[in-house]
Homo-oligomer: A and B are copies of this chain.
Amino acid sequence: MIVDCAVYEDGCRCEGDLPLAEAGQAAQRDGSFVWIGVYEPSEDEFDAVRREFELHELAVEDAVNAHQRPKVERYGDTLLVVLKTVRYVEDEEDLETGEIALFVNRDFVVTVRHGQSELHDVRLEIEDRPDLLRFGAGAVLYAVVDRIVDDYEPVMEAVETDIQEVEHDMFSPHRSNPAERIYTMEREVLDLHRAIMPLGPAIDRLARGQYDLIHPELRTYFRDVHDHLLRVAGRIEGFRDLLSSALQANLTQASVRQNEDMRKISAWVAIFAVPTGVAAIYGMNFDNMPELGWSFGYPSVLILIVVLCSVLYWRFRRSGWL
């Protein structure tokens, strides 16, 4: 589905809707470029775009089928940029990913969105910056990449919060076993790693001016994005290290708790063993057991049992077993 299609000239959007069929021609004009936004296009729909701008078959294949790695690749004069969008769904404690592919050329930008992703805001925002738009189609690429990378930040925050919850669980006295949650988070962080990490060197190439397409003034902007990405990457690495340590620490906690439970159980077993042992002695059938004849024998023994149990209980308490 073609969502929006407009010509930008001298940093400003030309009024009026542009039919796809005229886009190719409009794009040729000097100092202007066309931006077409497409959302999960059918093969036919996209074929029209492909023919209009003479896109490479392999690039089109990558853009139409989602599930690519993030990357920046040159096909002739056109750059194909693939980006992963990530959103954290609070309720399910789960990550939702989307994909945006951009064809960027001196004459046009085609953005192809898949799944959870939004570009309308980005378009409005960049249209407010004619100083950047004047640098051509690369400015659109910058705007999109910058937004997507900015959107990684709240995901990082959410994961950080989750990890702190898990840590709290792990060392809380409630004896929960967050092993499954830690493991699930490791998986999630791994997915983040796969979605974000490969983008770093790609953006770096943009920032270092490897593609003429990107106006030199824009390089500083891409370097800023790259720096942001490095920060995100550093946090992801940190998450991996933390979760791996958490798994190990959690095992220790499980082991320590097992010991505590065992000591508690054993203490009670020992306390329970006292009445049996004492009573067994006075259950013996010796003829000559003077205590049996005493009139206070029975209550004395009962008291003895209570005292012994109390002493044991108190000692276990003191040594922290109960």
13 further A-B pairs in the complex, CB-CB below 8 A; given A62-B224, A193-B238, A277-B279? A73-B227, A183-B245, A190-B238, A252-B254, A258-B259, A272-B273, A276-B277, A279-B283, A283-B284, A284-B285, A284-B298, A286-B301, A287-B292
Q: B58, B62, B273: which contacts A269 (Cβ < 8 A)?
A: B273
A58 to B179: give the CA distance in the assembly, Å: 42
Chain B residues within an 8 Å CB radius of A289: 285, 298
Is A270 among interface residues, defined by CB-CB distance under 8 A? Answer: yes
Given contacts A177-B252, A194-B234, A249-B247, contact A288 B298 (CB under 8 A): yes
Chain B residues within an 8 Å CB radius of A267: 265
Chain B residues within an 8 Å CB radius of A301: 284, 286
Chain B residues within an 8 Å CB radius of A287: 292-293, 295, 297
Nearest-neighbour CB distance to chain B for A253, whole angstroms, equals 6
Given contacts A262-B261, A280-B276, contact A187 B298 (CB under 8 A): no
Given contacts A279-B281, A286-B297, contact A252 B249 (CB under 8 A): no
Look across to chain B and name the residue whose beta carbon is closest to the beta carbon of A76.
B220
Chain B residues within an 8 Å CB radius of A190: 238, 241-242
Cross-chain contact A246 with B277 (CB below 8 angstroms):
no
Is A98 among interface residues, defined by CB-CB distance under 8 A? Answer: no
Cross-chain contact A58 with B247 (CB below 8 angstroms):
no
Chain B residues within an 8 Å CB radius of A284: 279, 282-283, 285, 292, 298, 301
Task: Report 18 cross-chain contacts, Cβ distance below 8 Å, ordered by A residue.
Answer: A61-B224, A187-B242, A193-B238, A194-B238, A245-B247, A248-B251, A255-B255, A255-B258, A263-B265, A265-B267, A276-B276, A284-B298, A284-B301, A285-B292, A286-B291, A287-B293, A288-B294, A289-B298
Q: B231, B275, B288: which contacts A295 (Cβ < 8 A)?
A: B288
Interface size on A, residues (CB 8 A): 89
Copy number in the complex reads 5
Is A87 among interface residues, defined by CB-CB distance under 8 A? Answer: no
Look across to chain B and name the residue whose beta carbon is closest to the beta carbon of A75.
B220
Look across to chain B and name the residue whose beta carbon is closest to the beta carbon of A266.
B265
Q: B256, B269, B283, B292: which contacts A270 (Cβ < 8 A)?
A: B269
Q: B179, B275, B293: which contacts A256 (Cβ < 8 A)?
A: B179
Chain B residues within an 8 Å CB radius of A283: 279-280, 283-285
